Chain A
Amino acid sequence: MKSLNRQTGLLAIVGTLAITLSFSETAFSVDDGARSYWKGRDGTNVVSFQYLNLDMQAFGSQQFDPTHFIYPNSDASANLMIASYARHMTLFNRPATLSGNIAGGSADVDVDTSLIPPDFLPPDVIPGASLHQSTSGYADPSVQLDMNLFGTPPLKSTVDLANYEPNFTLDAAVMLAFPLGQYDSDKVVNMGLNRWYGRLALPMKYHFGAFSSGYMRSFELTPSMWLFGENDDFMGQTLKNDAMWQIESHLTWDFTRTFYGSLDLLYRSGFQSEIDGIDVGDKLNIGDLGFTLNYKATDNLSLRASYSSNVFGDSDLNTSVIRLQLVYGWHQLTENQKKLQGGHN
Chain B
Amino acid sequence: MNLRGLRLPVIPVLALMLTLTFGTLQAFAQDQLGSNSNNDRPNILLIVADDLGYSDLGSYGGEINTPVLDRLAQQGTRYTDFYVSPTCSVTRSMLLSGTDNHVAGLGNMGEYNSPNQMGQPGYEGVLNTRVASIAELLQDNGYHTYMAGKWHLGLKPDQIPHARGFERDFSLLVGGGSHFDDQWNLEWQIPVAPYTEDGRPVAKLPKDFYSSKAYTDKTIQFIEEGRKDKKPFFAYMAFTAPHGPLHVPDDWLRRYKNRYDEGWDGIREKRLARMQELGIVDKDDNSADRLYFLPRSTTLVPAARVMQGRKMELYASMVEYMDDQIGRVFDYLKEIGEYDNTVVIFISDNGAEGNDLRAMVAGRAGTMGFLHGMNNFAEDGHNSLGRKGTYAEYGAAWAQVSMTPFRIYKGWVAEGGIRSPLIVSGPGMQGAGEINKEAVLHVKDIAPTILELAGIQHPATYKGHEIEPMQGKSWVGMLNGETQSPRDPTDWLGWELFGNRAIRQGDWKISWLYQPFGSEDWQLFNLADDPGEQYDLAAKFPEKRKELIALWDEYAETNGVIIGQRSPFEGARKALPQQVPEYDNYPPLRGLEALPYEKLIELMGGKTEDKE
Contact = CB atoms under 8 A, between A and B. Distances in A.
Interface string B311-336: 10000000000000000000000000
B308 A7 contact: yes
B31 interface: no
Interface stretch (B380-388, B554-562, B592-600): B380-388
Interface residues of B, number: 32
Contacts of B258: 163
A10 B382 contact: yes
Given A11-B304, A215-B381, 15 more contacts: A1-B293, A1-B397, A1-B577, A3-B393, A4-B395, A6-B380, A8-B307, A10-B381, A163-B257, A210-B384, A210-B387, A211-B383, A212-B379, A214-B379, A214-B381
Interface string B236-266: 0000000000000000001001100100000
A165 B258 CA distance: 13
Those 10 A-B pairs whose CB atoms lie nearest each other, nearest first: A212-B381, A158-B303, A212-B383, A212-B384, A162-B306, A7-B307, A211-B383, A3-B395, A159-B302, A210-B384
B338 to A, nearest CB: 41
A11 B382 CA distance: 9
A6 B382 CA distance: 11
A159 B379 contact: no
Interface of A: 1-4, 6-8, 10-11, 13-14, 157-159, 161-163, 165, 210-215, 257
B307 A165 contact: no
21 contacts: A1-B396, A1-B397, A3-B356, A3-B393, A6-B380, A7-B311, A7-B382, A10-B380, A11-B307, A13-B381, A13-B382, A157-B303, A158-B301, A158-B302, A159-B302, A159-B303, A162-B310, A163-B306, A212-B383, A212-B384, A215-B379
A7 B308 CA distance: 7
A212 B577 contact: no
A8 B382 CA distance: 10
B356 A213 contact: no
Nearest to A3: B395
A212 B300 CA distance: 23
B5 interface: no
Interface string B261-299: 100000000000000000000000000000001110000
B202 interface: no
B307 A10 contact: yes
A213 B389 CA distance: 13
A2 B359 contact: yes
Contacts of B380: 6, 10
Contact of B381 (A3, A8, A11, A213): A213
A199 B257 CA distance: 38
A163 B383 CA distance: 9
Contacts of B382: 7, 10, 13-14, 162, 212
Nearest to B291: A1
Contacts of A214: 379, 381, 384
Contacts of B254: 165
Interface in B139-168: none
B323 to A, nearest CB: 25
A165 B254 CA distance: 10
A210 B293 contact: no
Contacts of B396: 1
Given A210-B381, A211-B383, A4 B306 contact: no
Contact of A159 (B306, B387, B393): B306
A4 B303 contact: no
A161 B307 CA distance: 11
Contact of A7 (B302, B304, B383): B304
Interface in B166-203: none
Contacts of B358: 3
Nearest to A10: B382
